[in-house]
Amino acid sequence: MSNQAPDASLSVVLIDDDRYILDSLATILEADGNISVAATSTSGKDALALYRQYLPDVMLLDIRMPEMSGLAAAEVLLTAHPQATVVFLTT
C-alpha cells in the first residue's frame, strides 16, 4: 500500500520517433500507478507545445530523432521554461 494520495501522480510527456518504443514506455510507466503519461509524440518539434499544454512534471525526450533532435527540442523548451525537468533517452 502506498502512502501517496491517489491523485499525487507524476505526469510525463514522452517523445520518441519510434512508435513501438513510445507505446512500450507509456505502458511500462503507467503500470506503476503513480505515473501518468499526459501525452506522447513522435516528433521533437512537438515538445514545446506539449509542455505548454500539459505542464508535465517530466519531459522524456529521445535524443536522436529526424527533423529535430531531443537535444535541440530541450534547448528550445528549457529556454522558454527553465524550470522544466527533461530526461533524455536513447537506444
What is the per-residue pLDDT across 6-29, written as a single tens digit (0 to 9) for each? Answer: 565 899 999 999 999 999 999 999
DSSP E strand stretches across the chain: 10-15, 35-41, 58-62, 86-89
Which whole number is the average pLDDT over 54-74? 95
* Of 7, 28, 25, 5, nearest in space to 15 by CA: 25
Sequence letter at residue 9 = S
DSSP string, 12-30: EEEE-S-HHHHHHHHHHHH
C-alpha span between 34 and 8 (Å, rounded) = 7
Residue 60 near residue 32 (C-beta atoms within 8 A): no
Which whole number is the average pLDDT over 58-64? 96
Confidence (pTM): 0.86
Copy the grid coordinates of residue 60.
522524456
What's the pLDDT at 6? 54
